[in-house]
Amino acid sequence: MAGMVFFSVSMSIDGFIAPESPEELMGQQWMELQHWVFPTRFMRESLKLGGGGEEGLDNEIARTTFERTGASVMGKRMFDAGEHAWPDEAPFHTPVFVMTHERRDPWVRLGGTTFYFVDDGIRSALDRAREAAGDRDVRISGGGATIVEYLNAGLVDEFSIALSPVLFGSGIRLFENVDAGRIALQQVRSEASARATHLTYAVRQR
């Protein structure tokens, strides 16, 4: 069975997933946005911080999101922001297809992450990611504009939001320019930890 196409993000109560500029990525509100994931056992393992860390819903969500993902698709801006920030062992551990307008050879990182650069559109990037993912799912990693491109094209099956108790006031909105009239949603899961509410919606075309 072919996998699903999904995205999974942390969102503020007022709908933002990132600050306006990468320089603000260590600000107070950004930390609060991601606060549910930092203490988890999964995150400590991923960052090689040693043992320990919290079990429970937040940990389960972080782990299953990672484990279901067989390949990722990413916009160029997200790649550019991460290219110099990710460690040599980039946190994906799968093929990642980066949509770009330049030709570039695959970039192999430690730990199983290889970035492939795709210059012929979102469907092509997705086709390649599906093939690479096999039975597992394809994650549209971001950023917001890339997620909305896939949503508007009817190519997303479901998505998950970790809704964190923080207001951003400005930044990058998850659903900016979404074609709302064509997208119907069904709430398929909603569970809360002490730190966030984890929501999952199935996407249908109207």
Q: Tell me which residues touch a copy of itself (CB under 8 A).
A: 13-15, 29, 161, 163, 165-170, 173-175, 178-181, 183-187, 190-192, 194-197, 199, 201
CB-nearer residue toward a copy of itself: 107 or 175 = 175
Q: Which amino acid is at 53?
A: G
CB-nearer residue toward a copy of itself: 53 or 171 = 171
Is the bond into 143 cis (omega within 30 degrees of 0)? yes
CB atoms within 10 A of CB 79: 20
CB-nearer residue toward a copy of itself: 34 or 114 = 34
* Minimum gap (Å) between residue 197 Cβ and a copy of itself: 4
CB-nearer residue toward a copy of itself: 81 or 183 = 183
* Minimum gap (Å) between residue 76 Cβ and a copy of itself: 24
Question: 3-class DSSP state for residue 148?
Answer: helix
114 pairs with which residues across the strands?
95, 108
DSSP designation for 145 = H
Q: Which two tokens stand for residue 5?
A: 């196409």
> Could you give phi then psi for residue 21, rounded to 5 degrees?
-125, 150
User: Quick check: 78 and 21 in contact, CB under 8 A?
Assistant: no
CB-nearer residue toward a copy of itself: 35 or 109 = 35
* Minimum gap (Å) between residue 155 Cβ and a copy of itself: 16
* Minimum gap (Å) between residue 13 Cβ and a copy of itself: 7
* Minimum gap (Å) between residue 183 Cβ and a copy of itself: 6
